[in-house]
A and B are shown apart, each in its own frame.
Chain A
Amino acid sequence: MSLAAVEEEPRHPEGAEPDYIRGKSGVMSWVLTLDHKRIALLYLGTVTLTFFLGGVFALALRTELLVPENGVMDAMTYNRMFTLHGVTMVFFFMIPAIPGVFGNFFLPIMIGAHDVAFPRLNLASYYLYLAAVCLGLWGMIHGGTDTGWTFYTPYSTTTTTTVLPILAAAFVNGFSSILTGVNFIVTIHTLRADGMHWMRLPLFIWALYGTSVIQVLATPVIGITLALCAVEHFLGTGIFDPARGGDPILFQHLFWFYSHPAVYIMVLPAFGVASELVGAFTRKPLVGYRMIALSTFGIAFVGFLAWGHHLFTSGQSAVDAGVFGFLSMLIGVFTAIKMFNWVGSMYKASIVMAAPFIYTLGFFFLTVFGGMTGVALATISLDVHWQDTYFVVAHFHFIMAGAVVMMFLGALHYWFPKMFGKLYTEGPAMVGAVLVILGFIGTFTPQFFLGNEGMPRRYYSYPAHFQWLHVTSTIFAYILFLGLLLVLINLIVALANGKQAPNNPWGAPQYEWDIPSPPTEHNFPATPVINRDPYEYRGQEIIENAN
C-alpha cells in the first residue's frame, strides 16, 4: 500500500474490473449477491426503513404526550406504540445498523481482504434479519404487543396482545446477529492482508471485533430467554410465573445478561466510527491508538458483568447491588479513556470541518453526558430514585440512540463517496447535522428534568405539572425529525445527481480511501500488502468537496 506505487500506476485501467454497483445488473444479482458491499447496501435499505418506522412511532408518542390526558390515541395504542418503537429501534435498527451496513462494507476492505470469510453466511444473516423485520411487521399489523421491549414477565406471558410474533422476530434477529458476529471475527482473524498486524488494524475494526465477541456470547442467552417466554405463553411451563413456582426475577437476570452487553453491541461500532472520523478529519495520527483499542475489550468484558444494575430496585440485596454497582463504574472508565484520546487528538490538529465531523462533535457531547448519567444511574442510591423514570429514558437515548444515530449519519456522510461514488452537497448536510444534534439534545434534555421530578416512563397520562417539559421535548422531536428528513433528501439528491467522487475526497489516511470509488467487485486486483499504520498521514492533497 505504498503511496508511490499508487500514484505511478493507473489504478483503474480501462477494461479492468468494473465497480461493484455496475458490475452486474438485474434483480437477482442483488437479492442473491454474495458481495459484502452489495449485502451492505441491502442492509442500508432495510435499516433506513426500520429507522423511519421507529421514528414515526416515536413522533406519535411525543404527539400524544403533548397533553396530560387523552391525546391522539388511547392508552392501549400508546402502550403498543412505545413497545414497537423500542423493538424496532433496538432490534431492527441499532443492533444491525453500523455493523450491518458499514461493517459489512468496510471490514474486508480495511483489512485488505476480497470479501468476508463466509459470504454465503453473510447473505444468510441478512435474510434472517429481513425475516425478523418481516415477522415484526406482521406482528405489528396484527395489533402489535404492549409489553415494552423488555418483555418483563409475568406481564408478557399474560398479555392478550400478539406478543409471539414480536418475540419470534427478536429471536430470529438474534441469530442474524450471532452469524454476523462469527463471520466478522473469523474474517478479522484469517483474512488480514500481509503486513496487517493486529496493531495496524483500524480502530473501527477493533470496535467491530469487540462487538462481534459480545454478539456471539451474549445473544444466545436472550434467544433462549425469549423462547422460554414464548413457550410459557402457550404451554404454561411456568419458569417465570410465580403462580407455578417460577420467579420473574430470573427473567430479568437472563434478559439483562444479554441486554446490558447489547448496549455495547450498539455503541461500540459507533465508537469505532468516531475513531475513524477523528482520524480522518484531524489530519494527524490518532492519539492513544493502543488505549482506544484495548479499552474496547475492557468495555466488552466488564459490560458482561454489570447487568445487575438494572435490578437495583427489584429487591436486590445490598451485597449483590454493591458488586454490580462497583463493576458498572469500571465501564465508565474505559469509555472515558476513549473520549480523552479523541478530544486529545484534536490538539495541534488541522481540522477539516464537514458534516461528518459535526456529527462527531455532537457525538462527543451526547456520549459524555449520556455516559456519565449512566454512571450516575449506576450509583445505587440515586438509581433508586431514577430507575424507571424519564431520567433513564433520556440517559439511554443520549448514550445509545444518540451515539448510534450520530455515528450512523456521520459514517453515512463520510463513506458516502466511497460507497456510491458520488459527492453529496456539504451545505444542506451541515445544516441537517446541526438540526439533528440540536433536535436530539432538545428532545431529551427536558426528559432528564422530567425524570428528576419523578415522571415514570411508559406513562400514557401524567399529572399536569409535567406538561411544559413534555411540550418542550415534543417540539424538539419535530425539529429532529425535520433535520433527519433534510439529511435524507440531501443524500437522495446526491445519489441521483451527485458529482463523481474521486478516490479520496477527504484526503483521509485510512486504507479504504486508496481503492476506487466505488470499489470494484473484488475490492483489489490482487491481495494487497499493507506497509503503514492506519492513521499515518501521508500528505495527500485535500480534494475539496463539492461547494
Chain B
Amino acid sequence: MKVGVMILAAAFYNEWMRKLLNLPPQASSIAEGVDNLLFFVIAVTTLVSIGFALVALVLWAVYRNKGKGTVGQVVHPGIMFEVVAISGPLFFFLLWFFIGFRQYVEMESPPDDAMEVYVMGKKWMWKFAYPDGPNAVGTLHVPVGRPVKLLMTSRDVIHSFFIPAFRMKKDIVPGRYSELWFTATEPGSYEVFCAEYCGTGHSMMRGEVVAMKADEFDQWLAQQRNGFASRQQDSAVSTEEAPRTEANMVLQGQRLAGEKGCFKCHSVDGQPHIGPTWLGLYHRHEHLSTGETINVDEPYITESMMDPTAKLVAGYGPVMPTYMGKLTAPETAAIVEFIKSLRNPELQAQPSEPPTYEPSRR
C-alpha cells in the first residue's frame, strides 16, 4: 500500500524529477518503474547526506570551543539512539532492495511471445540479425509495444549492450549467450553504448535503437526480407557472421560435398572409411604419417583439399585426388563450413560460432 502511494506520488513528479536528475527519456516498459525507484533512492540519499552535513555544520556553529580548557559535556545517548541508527537505514535499504529485486526479476523474465533478435558484438561494432533473414550493423529496429528479446554473444572480448533510454544493460561474453528483453514504448531513436571496456575503439562502439510503430515496423521488416537476397552482395553490410548465412553455407557445403563425391571416402557419422571421418574433424588433434600432431583447422582442411598428400593423417593412404581448380573459393569455404558444422557435441564448440539454439520458453 505504502509502495503504491509512493509510486503514485512519484509519477506526478516524474517528468520534473527526470529532468532534474538529467535522465534520458523513458522509452521502455520498465523505465518508468525503475525511474520512480531511482528518484526515491536519490532523493533520500541527497536529503540524508545534505542533512548530515548541515547538522554537522550547525553543531559546529553551536558548540564551538569557547576558549582554552573548555570541554564538551559527556553525553550517553540511550539505546534508542543506536536502535534508530540501525533500524532507520536498514528500513530504507531493505525497502529499496525488495523493490529493486522485484524489478530485476521482471527484467530477467522475457515474455514467451517476445520477438527475437540476435546481437553480435565485436570490436567495435554491433550486428543485429532477425530470425528470418535481414541483418544490420549499428542500427536495431524494433516495434513499439511488442516485447523484443535480444540473444547476444561476442566475437572477441566482453562488451556490454546498453540502452540508457530503456534503462537496460547486459554484458555480452564471448563463448556464452546472454539475453535481454524490453518493450519499447515511444517511437524514436535512442543511443546504444558499449558499457564494458573493450579496447581502443570502445568509445566508438555505439549504435542506435530505432523504435517504430508496430505497423511501420512490419512494413520495414517485409521490405528488408524482400531486399535480403540482393543485400547479401552489398559489401557495405558484411554478412559473413550472420547466423542465417552461416546455416546456408553449411547446407550449401553439404550439397557440394555430395555433388563432388566426397562422401565416397569420407563418412559423417564417425566411421573411418577410405579417408578420415568428418565427424568431429574440426579442431581434432590428428597424428600425421610423419609423426607430428596437427590441429585440424581451416587452413589444414583447405590445404588437404588442394594438396591432399602433403600432410597425410597416419593410417590412411595417399589416395585422394586434388581438388585444385575443381572447386571455386566460395565452394571450398562452404565445404569447410560444412565440416566445421559436423562437430561432435562432446568436442569443442567454437565460442563465437552462431547459436545452435532453441528459444527458451518460460
Chains A, B in direct contact (C-beta < 8 Å): yes
Interface residues of A (CB under 8 A from B): 75-76, 79, 146-148, 152, 154-155, 158-159, 242-243, 245, 247-249, 282-285, 287-288, 291, 312-315, 317-318, 321-322, 325-326, 329-330, 332-333, 336-337, 339-341, 343-344, 346-353, 357, 361, 364-365, 368-369, 372-373, 375-376, 378-385, 387-389, 449-450, 452-454, 456-463, 469, 507, 537, 539-542, 544
Q: B65, A454: Cβ atoms under 8 Å?
A: no
Contacts of A333 in B (CB 8 A): 86, 89-90, 93
Q: A284-B74, A381-B37 are in contact. Are A458 and B197 (CB under 8 A)?
A: yes
Q: A248, B174: Cβ atoms under 8 Å?
A: yes
**B63 contacts chain A at the CB level, 8 A cutoff:** yes
List 17 other contacts, CB 8 Å, given A242-B173, A385-B34.
A159-B199, A243-B351, A321-B101, A325-B97, A325-B100, A346-B59, A346-B63, A347-B75, A348-B63, A350-B63, A369-B49, A375-B93, A375-B96, A380-B103, A381-B167, A456-B162, A463-B206
Contacts of A287 in B (CB 8 A): 75-77, 81
**B222 contacts chain A at the CB level, 8 A cutoff:** no
Q: A146-B199, A325-B100 are in contact. Are A155 and B157 (CB under 8 A)?
A: yes
**B3 contacts chain A at the CB level, 8 A cutoff:** no
Q: A381, B48: Cβ atoms under 8 Å?
A: no
Specify the chain A residue showing the minimal Cβ separation from B171.
A314
**B311 contacts chain A at the CB level, 8 A cutoff:** no
Contacts of A456 in B (CB 8 A): 162, 193-195, 203
Q: A325-B101, A384-B169, A453-B23 are in contact. Are A379 and B37 (CB under 8 A)?
A: yes
Cβ proximity bits B11-33 to A, threshold 8 Å, 1 near / 0 not? 00000000001111000001001
14 A–B contacts from the bound complex (CB under 8 Å): A158-B157, A249-B173, A284-B71, A285-B74, A315-B170, A318-B101, A318-B108, A333-B90, A340-B81, A350-B65, A351-B63, A352-B65, A388-B160, A507-B69
**B175 contacts chain A at the CB level, 8 A cutoff:** yes
Cβ proximity bits B245-259 to A, threshold 8 Å, 1 near / 0 not? 000000000000000
Q: A154, B77: Cβ atoms under 8 Å?
A: no
Q: A385, B160: Cβ atoms under 8 Å?
A: no
Contacts of B101 in A (CB 8 A): 318, 321-322, 325-326, 380-381
Q: B158, A463: Cβ atoms under 8 Å?
A: no
CA of A387 to CA of B193 in the docked complex: distance in angstroms? 12
Q: A353-B65, A379-B100 are in contact. Are A314 and B157 (CB under 8 A)?
A: no
**B356 contacts chain A at the CB level, 8 A cutoff:** no
Among B174, B178, B202, the residue within 8 A (CB) of A460 is B202
Q: B196, A388: Cβ atoms under 8 Å?
A: yes
Q: Nearest Cβ in chain A — how far from B108, in angstroms? A: 5
CA of A337 to CA of B81 in the docked complex: distance in angstroms? 10
**B1 contacts chain A at the CB level, 8 A cutoff:** no
Contacts of B107 in A (CB 8 A): 381, 384
Contacts of B84 in A (CB 8 A): 340
Question: A285, A329, A378: which has the most chain B beta carbons within 10 Å?
Answer: A329
Q: Nearest Cβ in chain A — how far from B163, in angstroms? A: 8
Contacts of A75 in B (CB 8 A): 200-201, 203
Contacts of B352 in A (CB 8 A): 243
B195-237 residues with Cβ-Cβ distance < 8 A to A are: 195-204, 206
Q: Nearest Cβ in chain A — how far from B84, in angstroms? A: 8
Among A146, A291, A349, the residue within 8 A (CB) of B59 is A349
Q: A449, B22: Cβ atoms under 8 Å?
A: yes
Contacts of A76 in B (CB 8 A): 200
Q: B38, A336: Cβ atoms under 8 Å?
A: no
Question: A75, A325, A346, A364: which has the most chain B beta carbons within 10 Å?
Answer: A346
Q: Nearest Cβ in chain B — how far from A339, in angstroms? A: 7
Contacts of A344 in B (CB 8 A): 75, 77, 81
Q: A242-B351, A388-B195 are in contact. Are A343 and B52 (CB under 8 A)?
A: yes
CA of A68 to CA of B243 in the docked complex: distance in angstroms? 35
CA of A284 to CA of B76 in the docked complex: distance in angstroms? 11
Q: A454, B162: Cβ atoms under 8 Å?
A: yes
**B66 contacts chain A at the CB level, 8 A cutoff:** yes
Among B39-47, B298-306, B321-329, the stretch in contact with A: B39-47
Q: B69, A539: Cβ atoms under 8 Å?
A: yes
**B125 contacts chain A at the CB level, 8 A cutoff:** no
Q: B168, A384: Cβ atoms under 8 Å?
A: yes
Question: A379, A469, A541: which has the most chain B beta carbons within 10 Å?
Answer: A379
Contacts of A283 in B (CB 8 A): 65, 70-72
Q: B74, A242: Cβ atoms under 8 Å?
A: no
Contacts of A154 in B (CB 8 A): 156-158, 174
CA of A248 to CA of B160 in the docked complex: distance in angstroms? 14
CA of A333 to CA of B84 in the docked complex: distance in angstroms? 11
Q: How many B residues touch A, CB cutoff 8 Å?
A: 94
Contacts of B50 in A (CB 8 A): 365
Q: Nearest Cβ in chain A — how far from B107, in angstroms? A: 6
CA of A47 to CA of B46 in the docked complex: distance in angstroms? 33
Contacts of A312 in B (CB 8 A): 104
Contacts of A247 in B (CB 8 A): 175-176
Specify the chain B residue showing the minimal Cβ separation from A335.
B89
**B164 contacts chain A at the CB level, 8 A cutoff:** yes
Q: B63, A347: Cβ atoms under 8 Å?
A: yes
**B68 contacts chain A at the CB level, 8 A cutoff:** yes
Contacts of A159 in B (CB 8 A): 199
Contacts of A462 in B (CB 8 A): 203
Among A318, A329, A347, A539, the residue within 8 A (CB) of B104 is A318
Q: B81, A453: Cβ atoms under 8 Å?
A: no
Q: A541, B48: Cβ atoms under 8 Å?
A: no
Contacts of A329 in B (CB 8 A): 90, 93-94, 96-97
Q: Nearest Cβ in chain A — how far from B73, in angstroms? A: 4
Contacts of B194 in A (CB 8 A): 456
Q: Nearest Cβ in chain A — how far from B139, in angstroms? A: 16
Contacts of A332 in B (CB 8 A): 89, 93
CA of A124 to CA of B103 in the docked complex: distance in angstroms? 51
CA of A389 to CA of B38 in the docked complex: distance in angstroms? 15
Q: Nearest Cβ in chain A — how far from B238, in angstroms? A: 21
Q: A361, B202: Cβ atoms under 8 Å?
A: no
CA of A337 to CA of B88 in the docked complex: distance in angstroms? 10
CA of A329 to CA of B202 in the docked complex: distance in angstroms? 32
Q: B198, A343: Cβ atoms under 8 Å?
A: no
CA of A339 to CA of B48 in the docked complex: distance in angstroms? 11
Q: Nearest Cβ in chain B — how far from A452, in angstroms? A: 5
CA of A145 to CA of B89 in the docked complex: distance in angstroms? 41
**B5 contacts chain A at the CB level, 8 A cutoff:** no
Specify the chain B residue showing the minimal Cβ separation from A322.
B101
Q: Nearest Cβ in chain A — how far from B63, in angstroms? A: 5
Question: B69, B71, B103, B157: which has the most chain A beta carbons within 10 Å?
Answer: B71
Specify the chain A residue showing the minimal Cβ separation from B55.
A343
Q: A353, B173: Cβ atoms under 8 Å?
A: no
CA of A326 to CA of B100 in the docked complex: distance in angstroms? 10
Contacts of B201 in A (CB 8 A): 75
Q: Nearest Cβ in chain B — how far from A289, in angstroms? A: 11
Q: B45, A369: Cβ atoms under 8 Å?
A: yes
Specify the chain B residue showing the minimal Cβ separation from A389.
B195
**B350 contacts chain A at the CB level, 8 A cutoff:** yes
Q: Nearest Cβ in chain B — how far from A375, in angstroms? A: 5
Among A245, A326, A343, A352, the residue within 8 A (CB) of B348 is A245
Q: B65, A339: Cβ atoms under 8 Å?
A: no
**B56 contacts chain A at the CB level, 8 A cutoff:** yes
Cβ proximity bits B84-122 to A, threshold 8 Å, 1 near / 0 not? 111011100110110111111101100000000000000
Q: A154-B157, A453-B22 are in contact. Are A361 and B68 (CB under 8 A)?
A: no
Q: Nearest Cβ in chain B — how far from A249, in angstroms? A: 7
CA of A449 to CA of B197 in the docked complex: distance in angstroms? 20
CA of A430 to CA of B71 in the docked complex: distance in angstroms? 23
Q: A542, B69: Cβ atoms under 8 Å?
A: yes
Contacts of A146 in B (CB 8 A): 199-200
Contacts of A376 in B (CB 8 A): 38, 41-42, 45, 96
Among A152, A348, A350, the residue within 8 A (CB) of B158 is A152
CA of A391 to CA of B58 in the docked complex: distance in angstroms? 30
